[in-house]
Structure 1
Amino acid sequence: MPLKSGAVGRVDLDWLYCFLAFHQGYRMAVLHTLLTPLRGLCRALLGRWLEYRHVEAQATPLDPTRPTIYVLPHPALSDTLALELMTHREGLPRARGHIDLGGARLPACVALPRLSRGLTQVRGRRSLALDSLLEQLAEHPEQDIQLVPVSVFWGRAPGKDFGFWKLLAADSWQWTGRLRRLLSMAVNGKHVQVHLGAPLQLRSLIETRPLPVAQRKMARVLRVHFRRVRARVLGPDLSHRNTLIRGVVDSPQVRQAIREAATARGTREERETRRALRYGREIASNTSYPVLRFLYQLLRRLWNRLYDGVSVNGLDDVKALAGDHELVYVPCHRSHIDYLLLSYVLFREGLMPPHIAAGRNLDMPLIGPLLRRGGAFFLRRSFRDNRLYAAVFNEYVHRLISRGHPLEYFIEGGRSRTGRMLTPRPGMLAMTLRSFARDPRREVAFVPVYVGYEKVLESGSYLKELRGGRKKKESPFDLLRVVRRLRQPYGHVTVNIGEPLRLSGFLDHHVPAWREHRREARPDWLTQAVTTLGATLAQRINAAAAITPISLTALSLLATSHHAMEADLLKHHMRLLTRLRQHLAGGERITLPTGDPEAWIAHAAHLGFIERHPQALGELVLATPEQATLLTWYRNNVLHLFIDMALVAFAYRHNARFDLAQLRALLGPTWPVLAHEFHLPAEDFDARLHRALDALTSEGLLVQSAQDWERPAGHLESSEHLRLLGRLVQPTLERGYLLLAVLLREGSGTLTRDALEEHSRQLAERLTLLSGLNAPEFFDKRLFSGLLDTLEAQGWLWREGDKLCYDAVLEQAQERGRALFDPSLRHRLTQLVHRQEA
């Protein structure tokens, strides 16, 4: 029977398909036969060369007894071989060969196929191996398997050496070709980072969904995981700078600002648009992966020259958030080294360095372009009167946050010249809050960071400024000065991560209705929320402080009249301070120095902070006037950690015995002032008082009876320790006494705030000169300003017009506070005020 032409065509096609399939299978068999020895040779060579860092998910560790299949984000022989070698060396389920599942042989390692890129969209292809795996599990309900996602990064592990080829061959967001991958294996084989994700249990996936849905769900979960890991390690994919700037200028918010600026200035919108583009180029960073790697290598060598080491604590909390949170790092600002050090630490630990808000004063020749390519974006110190600049900057920050770029800025604004945590400024915090309220889909997490130096690089300039010198403007020649200091010892650096703060939870707690008004340009709740947020972050930074041998030396020596102590007494007091700190709750993130007091004193002498004088009756340790002035900076770094115990100790300076009610009445009104100055929670004074009393009693500094606490006899060493501890809070209490004495003498409604601040500052300066003290930070005007802020916030003061007013309650509180001071000290302060008025 003759066949129809269509049938003949189908038969011919069937034969053609069979022939092609046979030919393809024959080719694959031949290729497999030829490539298997070559693959073994590559594995053997790579095994001799490969060094890796294994990063495993913390939440769900790998179960080595369960059938395991590893999944790579894309096909790459180098990644497969690296994974095979790692699993073999560490005794994990093998990634080489096949596993048996219900009679079927499945590959132990598979890769997601590359995305197919069309003209208008990117589509994910199906993985036949993973689809067949799910089908096999569906047919065998008694079987289960764990799917382990694996990400391999070449040239991204810490410790790699500097070199052009390493910069060229290291991983980035772009998929690499075969030649560059071969180069990467040769150059970066000793610097590989392997991330094992949390195992995915496939049985639970197919039991709750039809098979086709489970296949799509599995592929989507894997691709999201790989993208999050890649974003955590490499940062978000960097947009072209010019495109980003053009998008900022074309946004509705900036276009509105352009129209308003054109109307106000009487210019055309085209001219204001060019001005906005100029602002965008002035602000925007130009992050470059090769420059980041270059800076890492440069900084690694710099830290090895400058410091004995860099310790990092608490970074696991950051790694847990990095995948699906927008991270905003908020370090304390003590040195220009802060932002370089934090970026170095994050890069070393496998996290993407943040985009850093830097002052425009750093956008100088040589330094500015390098910082800009390292992730810095620049802002003017003030742009309140330039609404167009403010609109461009706000939109730029919003785009960074919405795209998932980590940020870093200093809530204090400038560097602290006194070593204290400065009052947070609202600018960048307000921008972050507005950006999150505008698009709250991606959670924002603030990461407080405390950086503790044993010797800060700017010691010389800070010393001059503490003595009244003017702040020196930065210049490129500062690099030469740094080079000259490379031979000097600078001790150890500690980077402590504070408790992260999730912004949505913070707003839900403090501003429950924020979502209802989040689309407003400047909602009513913003100002108070920014103030509370800044105070909370400052407290969390302080709660992660690092106590160093230098800060312990400063706390002890500066508590003496002439900055000199017997060496044995100094050792006992330094050890006592560490034990007292351990007694207090809330110190989980605080770090203490290792070693013993003898080593601490020797280290302080080595860094040039003290002098040791042998003497027939025992060694003496002292600080010269210059050293004492510099030590105030390091004392102020950690003074807040002891201020509650110091306040209790100071109460016993003039009084031998107190019961709990007397201490609460005497010290309670003072605590909010101290809490504001030292950025501590003001609402838990009773709990702090009990903990301080328990700590002092346990160390023998107070003796507890049935009803009260008594100081020890004056001839005992514990009495001397109590006196030294109380001296820590004395400068703050003296400042408060001076300010209130001036205000009460002049009367309610007679002084403006500025006049009271300046007059109190002058009296404090005069007191230091008459007392022979070399402590310029004692009369820092900002401390008096903070004191007045607290008194106004607590309702002790209020303004009528521009005058400060008070009532009899303040007079009564000041009268009760007089009991803290012994008669001689009270007489000296009172006489100083009266003579100045006369």
Structure 2
Amino acid sequence: MSIRQRLLNAISFGKPAPAIRPAALLQQPAASSTATYLLLDDAAPHLQRMLLSSMQRQFPESAIQILALKILAPETGLSSLEQLLTHHRQQKNTAVRLIPVKPIYTEPGHINRFQLGQPVIFQLSAEITQTTVSPNLERGYQNLQDHFANLNKYHPLPDSNTNAGIIHAVLKLEPVRIQLLQRAKLQQCSPKQMEQQAEATLLGIAARPNSSTVRCFTPLLNWVWQRLAKQIDITGMEHLLALPQDVQRIYIPCHRSHLDYLLLNWVLHKNGFKLPFVAAGDNLNIPVIGHLLQQAGAVFMRRQFQGDDLYSSLFQGYLNELTESQLPFEFFIEGGRSRTGHLLPARLGLLSMLLSNQLRRPHQRMALIPVWFGYEQIPEVPAYISQLQGEKKQPETLRGVLKSAKLLKRNLGNIQVAFAPPIRVSPPESKQLTRHKAGLLATEVLTRINQLTQFNEGSLLALVLLDQPQQTKQQVIARFSALNQLVQHLPDNGSPHPLFNATEAIRNADARGQLSVNQQHVTIDHKQSTELWYLRNTVEHCLLLPALYLLLCQRLERPHALCINRLMRLTYPLLKAEYYLPWTEQQLTTLLHKQRQHLLDQGLLAAAKHQHWRCTAHPLVALLQRLAEGVVLRYLLVLKSVSAATYIDRETLLESCQTLGLQLQRNTGHPVAPYADRRALEHLINLLLRFDLLEEQPPGIRLGTLPRDLPKHMSQLLPAHLMQSLESRVGLRD
């Protein structure tokens, strides 16, 4: 290490120098004749030293200089800037590039990073040497002031004075005033009384951000995540750093656990981003906890707005003021935690409201940021399974929250947080198209969330162990390693998948209680299998196409490539819509060719005579085929229930499928009822109707016109014992 570097380390007192973001502004140097400065508006020596240290660590070869200039002081700023430009003109420079810099504090005295603003470039000319300041210099100076002002607006901690101003503004909005007058007339009370009731409702909705609460809870959450997680891996942070500060950030994560919002806000705060306001169900507004959540940014909302126009206008007005103030917002587009591990269909209400507000203010810029969470263990899974099997969901209570403190004795393994590239949103063309555009954006968000999926030790072990609940340790290690190799090189996969050590993965899962190691055997009991089933479902979509390809090769009499491709193209639109797969139908042929080649390279597929393909005896073949069988069985469950009657009403069909799912679970020995989730079944029925596999008329639902023999073809893909079980159960239902 050089003397200069040692000196810089001493300056920073052994602490790592804060990063400079976005680094892209410095990784694209201007022409050699342009002088570049990082411009601090604070002349404090320690800030200059820290910024110098950061520059040397990130860009050791850079010639960029640091300048502390009171640019916002009108009496000195303009003249100092003029002197700087005059000097560089004498040095034969053709331009000077000034980049504003602001230190971002997440805790008192702790700089998280140096945030760069928009550069201002001054083209040097003779004008700046005149006694009167040139218009170009004045304009550039004003731009520099504006960029500093934008940076200085940014602060990662919430503003405690935000709430009162927003509530006052909401009550003055015209749609709210109209609803207040109508409700006052209906209830025969004065407008003033109605306004007081509306204000009380808004106080129940609105967040009450408090920077002191955030500061107090930061050390506690640091300790909690240190206890709960072995490691937290964060990817995609560069997308947030590159997003301009004048864009409202709408974070849209998948929803697996109550830990999600704590985790996302902690990650954002630790990385110096402003904490978002978070939409939360009013079921969480319980004594003590609800108050603390509101102070951390929780916005409480009812599950249903229908039938209460005043409440709807108040909530939309509140969102409108958040948009106007460009405050970040976070909501779970699925509307609730997934009970199965699959993404749930989107609830469009909040997204439609945000788009409606943007329609009123087309100048406001907005970006949707999809977020994915990957867990190796989720504490709520046993409760999810109980609910799928018919038990009633227990309401959230203070006692329940206090009891959950026992989780701190457990370690949930590695946790992954991934941010997708933001989706820039333009206003809808008209109010009538708002919900349609919300649907398109929601599909894009869910697709990007699924693209972020990464395998972890838990999901790989789930795939291996659920295929055969009892195996030797060597069998598990061999299958785990082979599966890890297979998924690491999946063609056109959105996220890279790391390699894991199989022996270490088994040891870690054993410590978490997810499996049992008995001498040389690895086993899972009923409780463990239910937990692993959830983890398997979180990655099922990544393996769906190769799994279905292998199933077709195994079950078709003549598995010719053209025949397989034709059947895959026939089913792909339905799979794409249900599993939010990213590829277009035009990309499918090329993708299938790549996936077939990958299966050949991994030894799962082999060429046969007459351009046919055959499955090998590789142990992963049966594993993947059974995964695909589960998908086919779910479609058949619905289609067979419909075909058993001329017409069947929607509610009866849902109940029939749920009952059949539970019966199949007991008959096949499956650890859970994989088809008993009502929302997932409703989504599937809607998709089958959309693709004309079913049709709905006044008497009810019946098989569609395209094609009627599809259930027969799908039946041929399943093993005989599974079809016999399904047929007998459908017969019993008849």
Fold agreement, TM-score > 0.5: yes
1:286 deviation in Å?
Answer: 1.4
Superposition map of 1:233-382 within 5 A: 233-234=155-156, 239-382=161-304
Deviations 1:385-433 (A, max 9, x none): 1111111110110111121111110001111121111111011111111
Structure 2 match to 1:811:
708
Q: 1:384 to 1:443 in 2, by over 3 A?
A: same
Letter in 1 for 2:503: E
Structure 1 match to 2:366:
444
Could you say what secondary structure the match of 2:234 adopts?
strand
Which of 122, 139, 150 pairs up with 1:202?
122
Structure 2 match to 1:25:
none
1:779 deviation in Å?
Answer: 2.6
Which moved further from structure 2: 220-229 or 302-311? Answer: 220-229
Structure 1 match to 2:595:
692
Q: 1:566 to 1:653 in 2, by over 3 A?
A: farther
Q: 1:47 to 1:569 in 2, by over 3 A?
A: closer
Structure 1 match to 2:450:
542
Q: 1:350 to 1:204 in 2, by over 3 A?
A: farther
Q: 1:725 to 1:150 in 2, by over 3 A?
A: same
Letter in 2 for 1:696: L
1:369 deviation in Å?
Answer: 1.6
Letter in 1 for 2:306: R
Structure 2 match to 1:510:
none
Could you say what secondary structure the match of 2:278 adopts?
strand
Structure 1 match to 2:78:
127
Superposition map of 1:402-551 within 5 A: 402-504=324-426, 514-515=428-429, 517=430, 523-551=431-459
Q: In the alignment, is the contact (CA less than 8 A) between 1:149 and 1:197 conserved in 2?
A: yes
CA distance in 2 between partners of 1:44 and 1:666 (Å):
63
Q: Please list every run of 5 or more consecutive structure 1 residues that lacks an aligned counterpart in the other structure.
A: 1-42, 97-107, 116-123, 157-166, 171-187, 508-513, 518-522
1:546 deviation in Å?
Answer: 2.4
Structure 1 match to 2:4:
none
Could you say what secondary structure the match of 1:779 adopts?
coil
| Residues 1:628 and 2:628 aligned together | no
Q: Which has the larger radius of gyration?
A: 1
Q: In the alignment, is the contact (CA less than 8 A) between 1:150 and 1:194 conserved in 2?
A: yes
Structure 1 match to 2:483:
577
Q: 1:85 to 1:312 in 2, by over 3 A?
A: closer
Letter in 2 for 1:664: N
Could you say what secondary structure the match of 2:671 adopts?
coil
Q: In the alignment, is the contact (CA less than 8 A) between 1:314 and 1:496 conserved in 2?
A: yes
Which moved further from structure 2: 236-245 or 427-436? Answer: 236-245
Structure 2 match to 1:559:
467
CA distance in 1 between partners of 2:145 and 2:125 (Å):
16
CA distance in 2 between partners of 1:52 and 1:389 (Å):
49
Please give the root-mean-square deviation of Cα atoms over the aligned residues, in Å: 3.1
Q: In the alignment, is the contact (CA less than 8 A) between 2:420 and 2:448 conserved in 1?
A: yes
Letter in 1 for 2:628: V
Q: 1:571 to 1:655 in 2, by over 3 A?
A: farther
Superposition map of 1:764-779 within 5 A: 764-779=661-676
Letter in 1 for 2:18: R
Q: 1:503 to 1:705 in 2, by over 3 A?
A: farther
Q: Please list every run of 5 or more consecutive structure 2 residues that lacks an aligned counterpart in the other structure.
A: 1-7
Letter in 1 for 2:100: P
Which of 26, 34, 39 pairs up with 1:61?
26
Letter in 2 for 1:73: D
Q: In the alignment, is the contact (CA less than 8 A) between 1:134 and 1:211 conserved in 2?
A: no
1:196 deviation in Å?
Answer: 4.7
CA distance in 1 between partners of 2:669 and 2:98 (Å):
72
Superposition map of 1:620-659 within 5 A: 620-655=521-556, 657-659=558-560
Q: In the alignment, is the contact (CA less than 8 A) between 2:388 and 2:676 conserved in 1?
A: no
Could you say what secondary structure the match of 1:440 adopts?
coil
Could you say what secondary structure the match of 1:477 adopts?
helix
Structure 1 match to 2:511:
606
1:200 deviation in Å?
Answer: 4.0
CA distance in 1 between partners of 2:671 and 2:54 (Å):
60
1:47 deviation in Å?
Answer: 6.4
Q: 1:406 to 1:194 in 2, by over 3 A?
A: same
CA distance in 2 between partners of 1:400 and 1:574 (Å):
47
Structure 2 match to 1:728:
627
Could you say what secondary structure the match of 1:243 adopts?
helix
Q: 1:834 to 1:229 in 2, by over 3 A?
A: same
Q: How many residues align?
A: 718
Letter in 1 for 2:424: R
1:70 deviation in Å?
Answer: 4.3
1:312 deviation in Å?
Answer: 0.3
Deviations 1:234-263 (A, max 9, x none): 378665422220111011121122122223
| Residues 1:789 and 2:686 aligned together | yes
Q: In the alignment, is the contact (CA less than 8 A) between 1:612 and 1:622 conserved in 2?
A: yes
CA distance in 1 between partners of 2:127 and 2:598 (Å):
57
CA distance in 1 between partners of 2:250 and 2:18 (Å):
26
Deviations 1:191-232 (A, max 9, x none): 464345565442269989995322332233323333443445
CA distance in 2 between partners of 1:537 and 1:604 (Å):
32
CA distance in 2 between partners of 1:49 and 1:751 (Å):
72
Letter in 2 for 1:835: L
Q: In the alignment, is the contact (CA less than 8 A) between 1:295 and 1:374 conserved in 2?
A: no
Structure 1 match to 2:39:
71
Letter in 2 for 1:825: L
1:145 deviation in Å?
Answer: 3.5
CA distance in 1 between partners of 2:215 and 2:125 (Å):
40
Q: In the alignment, is the contact (CA less than 8 A) between 2:656 and 2:733 conserved in 1?
A: no
Could you say what secondary structure the match of 2:555 adopts?
coil
CA distance in 1 between partners of 2:525 and 2:289 (Å):
36
1:326 deviation in Å?
Answer: 1.1
Q: 1:705 to 1:230 in 2, by over 3 A?
A: farther
Letter in 2 for 1:640: H
| Residues 1:663 and 2:564 aligned together | yes
Q: 1:249 to 1:595 in 2, by over 3 A?
A: same
Query: What's the TM-score, normalizing by structure 2?
Result: 0.90
Q: 1:152 to 1:533 in 2, by over 3 A?
A: closer
Could you say what secondary structure the match of 2:594 adopts?
helix
Letter in 1 for 2:241: K
Could you say what secondary structure the match of 1:485 adopts?
helix
Q: 1:85 to 1:642 in 2, by over 3 A?
A: closer
CA distance in 2 between partners of 1:417 and 1:268 (Å):
46
Which moved further from structure 2: 648-657 or 78-87? Answer: 78-87
1:689 deviation in Å?
Answer: 3.0
1:817 deviation in Å?
Answer: 2.2
Q: In the alignment, is the contact (CA less than 8 A) between 2:85 and 2:96 conserved in 1?
A: no
Q: In the alignment, is the contact (CA less than 8 A) between 2:278 and 2:329 conserved in 1?
A: yes
Q: In the alignment, is the contact (CA less than 8 A) between 1:151 and 1:194 conserved in 2?
A: yes
